[in-house]
Structure 1
Amino acid sequence: MSASTATTLTDIRSLSLEELTSALVLMGERPFRAKQVYEWLWKKGARNFDEMTNLSLALREQLKAQFSFPVMTLDKQQRSLDGTIKNRFRLHDGHLIESVLIPVEADDRFTVCVSSQVGCSLTCTFCATGRMKRLRNLTAAEIYDQVFLVNEQCLEVYGKPLTNIVYMGMGEPLLAFNSVLGSIDRITSHTGLHMAPRRLTVSTAGIAKMIKKLADADTKVNLALSLHAADDEKRNEIMPINETNNLEVLMESLEYFYAKTKKRIGYEYITFQDFNDTLEDAERLYQICRRVPSMVNIIEYNPIDNAPFRKSTEHRIDDFATYLRDRGIMVTVRRSRGKDIDAACGQLANKE
């Protein structure tokens, strides 16, 4: 089959089970065949039609003629001294994305950080991905593939399956809303990977109307807001999205999310030396945390080329965290992993 012919075919993984059933019935198959195919797609993670060995050869050939089956391939892999593994995947159209396996063996926790877009359009000043153009959203299948392939990697390298998924890689998940929602369905459904929704966290730079939309979708996943500054002036400076989604608007959306889901909000807060790491900043963050049940992840800054920021000292970070803890706020200080391979928070940029 030529490439041009393949592009005119419907991607089989874009179909719901109901749509797949209708298509196979039109091909003269019994409805249960669709369930078999669907299981190969989303539970067994088949990479092509030939792997569907409980289907007849004739049906597999029919499927090849009717549908395309685009998949991603591993383009490059890097291993950090701390055990973190960064994967660069090549998509069917040649675009590149990155996913990161973050092992914390002491806690028996293995997390994959997945991308949702090729590039990003939000231009946060501290993030390498934000300097790339957004070329397109990933499909639900491409997000799912990251999870499936990195889970296989985790089993091979560490002998354990993934325990957590975070939508914190390249791109803004809530601007790829339908794809993200579709991937959540396939990852959590009993017809897919059947992971518990509480193991999934969607991170956003802060798009208020989409936060409400996620709440209405009733996915039962966790939500994290990449906050990084607790007043509008500073947040506008580092995150242009704040100019149209200021903190008061965001807080209203987070209160809506909590009222709908009863899920505690996570705040991601990168500390920058002499910018947002003073006790006055901690007090402003405390006032935000009082609005809705929440927890704070304080993240050390990972330098990127030509950015005007410096990493806060451990002493400043510890004082900041202590200030919040003394006021009853749940705080975790996250020491970055994978820095030596540009796999840490804010560093994903498809660098050679």
Structure 2
Amino acid sequence: MVQQSKLIDIRSLSLSALKDKLTAMGEQGFRAKQVYEWLWSKSCTDFDQMTNLSKALRETLKNNFEIRAVKVRESQVSSDKTIKSSFTLYDGNVIEGVLIPTPDRMTACVSSQVGCSLTCKFCATGYMERKRNLQADEIYDQVVLIANQAAEKYSQPLTNIVYMGMGEPLLNYSGMMKSVERITAPDGLNMAAKRITVSTAGIAKMIKKLGDDEVRFNLALSLHAANDEKRNQIMPINEQNSLEALADALKYYYTKTKNPVTFEYIVFHNFNDELQDAKELARFCKHVPCKVNIIEYNPIALADFVNAEADKIEQFAEYLRSQQIVTNVRRSRGKDIDAACGQLAIKEETAV
């Protein structure tokens, strides 16, 4: 059990709230902007490194505030150069994130929750207990730490971020949105919103909220079946968020944002790999401008699902293309270190 700190989590404060705190302590207001820049533009996690602040101010900061920095616990490098890292949070919880290098991009796959509550039958994280939502700074820190790996290991800058790690981002809506704001803000990491993709298992009312908030990042929906009976079997969330409800939400989202949607679809052997399944998916795709990413399944010990045969996957993709649907077949990365899609899970014995 982590002892409750009496110090204020400084990164939970807005710039104006930080200014109020510092002026109440007798400091000049402009100091808040300097501190904020250290925290969010320079990703500083140690008050002593804020070198343009006086020693007295640094002591004041240390006596009143804390920076709950995420730390790399362990990293593994795959044969395909993917790097999976486990990260320790301030309260001892552990999450995972992945650096996915390809010839034309460096992508950070980040987690949004400790565990997950959605119990998708094919996903390792779905078999974990959801312990809590991540705070915005904990998501931000994953991006910074993975960007550092890209620079140090491959001499490349981070180009893309996907919220496809542990957890359901739309069930941590405020933490996810604030992290995107800090990652994209000119006084944050200043990354383009179009380089960020948030993936959801499908929560209709929160997809509509994304529309109301007119988000500029990309939305991906983990679909995996385009009929309710099959989707209910593998994704219990579908029982409260039917395909009809999701289609309605996606149409609303598109009218508000004009952002095309990506549908993610794993083709499972003898489950959703027939021409009829492809036809159902093609019909669902007509609701909004979209593309389909067919994802290779990565088996996990807790489930019996198997990837469809290669020729079945190709036939499935070809049918979608024949319907003028942009379709990509994505090969998995990092399978040998359990870093691939659906494989992220902290084994209980590794928890701090």
Alignment TM-score, normalising by the size of structure 1? 0.97
Partner of residue 125, structure 1: 121
* Counterpart code for 1:287: R
Q: Do the aligned partners of 2:124 and 2:300 also contact (CA within 8 Å) in 1?
A: yes
Partner of residue 92, structure 1: 90
Partner of residue 33, structure 1: 31
* Counterpart code for 1:341: I
- Structure 1: 5+ residue runs without aligned partners? none
Higher mean alpha-carbon deviation, 307-316 vs 24-33, is at: 24-33
CA distance in 2, matches of 1:302, 1:277: 16
Higher mean alpha-carbon deviation, 182-191 vs 308-317, is at: 308-317
Question: Which of 34, 44, 53 in structure 1 is aligned with 2:42?
Answer: 44
CA distance in 2, matches of 1:33, 1:217: 31
How far apart are residue 310 of structure 1 and its match?
Answer: 1.0
Secondary structure (helix, strand or coil) at the match of 1:102 reads strand
* Counterpart code for 2:67: F
CA distance in 2, matches of 1:293, 1:219: 16
CA distance in 1, matches of 2:32, 2:302: 52
How far apart are residue 218 of structure 1 and its match?
Answer: 2.4
Partner of residue 153, structure 1: 149
Q: Do the aligned partners of 2:72 and 2:145 also contact (CA within 8 Å) in 1?
A: no
Higher mean alpha-carbon deviation, 69-78 vs 188-197, is at: 69-78
* Counterpart code for 2:203: I
Partner of residue 17, structure 1: 15
The equivalences for 1:155-234 within 5 A come to 155-234=151-230
How far apart are residue 69 of structure 1 and its match?
Answer: 1.4
Question: Which of 72, 75, 88 in structure 1 is aligned with 2:73?
Answer: 75
* Counterpart code for 1:170: M
* Counterpart code for 2:242: N
Q: Deviations over 1:211-242 (max 9, x none)?
A: 11122222301000000001000000000000
Q: CA RMSD in A?
A: 1.0
Q: Deviations over 1:303-342 (max 9, x none)?
A: 0003121111110110000000011001110000000000
Secondary structure (helix, strand or coil) at the match of 1:33 reads helix
Question: Which of 302, 305, 308 in structure 1 is aligned with 2:301?
Answer: 305
- Structure 1 residue ranges, 4+ long, deviating more than 4 angstroms after superposition: none
How far apart are residue 202 of structure 1 and its match?
Answer: 0.5
CA distance in 2, matches of 1:318, 1:197: 32
CA distance in 2, matches of 1:318, 1:259: 32
* Counterpart code for 1:19: A
CA distance in 1, matches of 2:302, 2:204: 30
Higher mean alpha-carbon deviation, 263-272 vs 208-217, is at: 208-217
* Counterpart code for 2:273: D
Q: Deviations over 1:79-116 (max 9, x none)?
A: 000010001001111100000000002x2x01000000
Alignment TM-score, normalising by the size of structure 2? 0.97
How far apart are residue 139 of structure 1 and its match?
Answer: 0.3
Question: Which of 281, 286, 290 in structure 2 is aligned with 1:290?
Answer: 286
The equivalences for 1:244-323 within 5 A come to 244-323=240-319
CA distance in 2, matches of 1:75, 1:152: 15
CA distance in 1, matches of 2:204, 2:236: 14
Q: Do the aligned partners of 2:124 and 2:302 also contact (CA within 8 Å) in 1?
A: no
How far apart are residue 144 of structure 1 and its match?
Answer: 0.1
Q: Do the aligned partners of 2:95 and 2:166 also contact (CA within 8 Å) in 1?
A: yes
CA distance in 2, matches of 1:308, 1:87: 26
Secondary structure (helix, strand or coil) at the match of 2:80 reads coil
- How many pairs align? 347
Aligned residues: percent identity? 61
Q: Do the aligned partners of 2:268 and 2:307 also contact (CA within 8 Å) in 1?
A: yes
* Counterpart code for 1:76: E
Q: Do the aligned partners of 2:201 and 2:222 also contact (CA within 8 Å) in 1?
A: yes
- Structure 2: 5+ residue runs without aligned partners? none
How far apart are residue 8 of structure 1 and its match?
Answer: 2.2
* Counterpart code for 1:213: K
Question: Which of 223, 229, 235 in structure 1 is aligned with 2:231?
Answer: 235
